[in-house]
Amino acid sequence: MDKEKPPPIFNFVYDTYDNMLTFKRPVERLVDNAKLTKGQRVLDVACGTGWATIEAAKVVGVGGKVVGVDIADKMLDIASKKTHSTGLRNVEYVMGDAEALELDDAYFDAVLCSLSIFFLRDIPRALQEWHRVLKVGGMLAFSSFGLEFMQPFAKLFFEGLSRYDGQPSPSQGIAIKTDTPEDCQILLENAGFIDISIATEQLGFYLSDLSDYWKEVSSGAARLRLDRLSPADLEKFRAEHLSEVEPLRTDQGIWIDVPVIYSVAKK
């Protein structure tokens, strides 16, 4: 792995990552879209705490195998414990870099990446690696969020947070994106994939109250910035942000918009 890379950000939020319904709920549909079958060998890249890994392992069965790879060892620890509790024995977890896999060429029948591709530093390089480890005819399936993901709340959240810590919006400075089907199509074509199929699904849901909402938005990568605030500033920002969210709540709760793009292609 590249030793110049900073410590994995998700080693700092591993203990709250499983709180995020926006990342957890779309996993099953990714596995469905990958059209896995019994006995296949599957790679789950940037597997996190193992949501997609476990779902894939259930599908491929005892005759198949799923390898989960992540750069954050603390996430892998949780994934291993969760997998062990299910009784599944066809799963292996490996610490590794999604952009520089230490795995054999043409070994896997399928590669999955659930809502993680947009965190990678070099997406084209990663796609080339995933292409390399796939067998000819093997399937790649990855998911990403659409443009309206968690809007308008995400915009309000990061604009408010920037007033406290002076950091830019996470979207600023990102040259390569995966938030439209067109973006995903071009990336896959450039990486040499064929038979590309891309579809967007709305997997939004309601959160019942402001405490559930705050749990959702503060459990992921944004937590790194929140943790750097002083206790006083954190509480002030939290109160200000929730006061912006409150008027947008309906009788059904707080609607969280979750457009998910599912990109599927073959080698």
The mean per-residue pLDDT over the stretch 119-144 comes to 97
> For the packed helices 231-245 and 153-165, what is the interaxial angle rounded to 10 degrees?
150
> What is the tens place of the pLDDT at every residue in 178-192?
999 999 999 999 999
Measured in degrees and rounded to the nearest 5, phi and psi for residue 258 equal -130, 80
pLDDT higher than 60, residue 132: yes
pLDDT higher than 50, residue 1: no
8 Å CB contact between 45 and 100: no
143 beta partners: 262
Note the CATH number of domain 9-266: 3.40.50.150
Task: Using CA atoms of 30, 34, 40, 46 in order, give the dihedral in degrees to the nearest 10.
Answer: -50
pLDDT higher than 60, residue 81: yes
Can you give the pTM of this predicted structure? 0.93
Residue spans per domain, the chain: 9-266
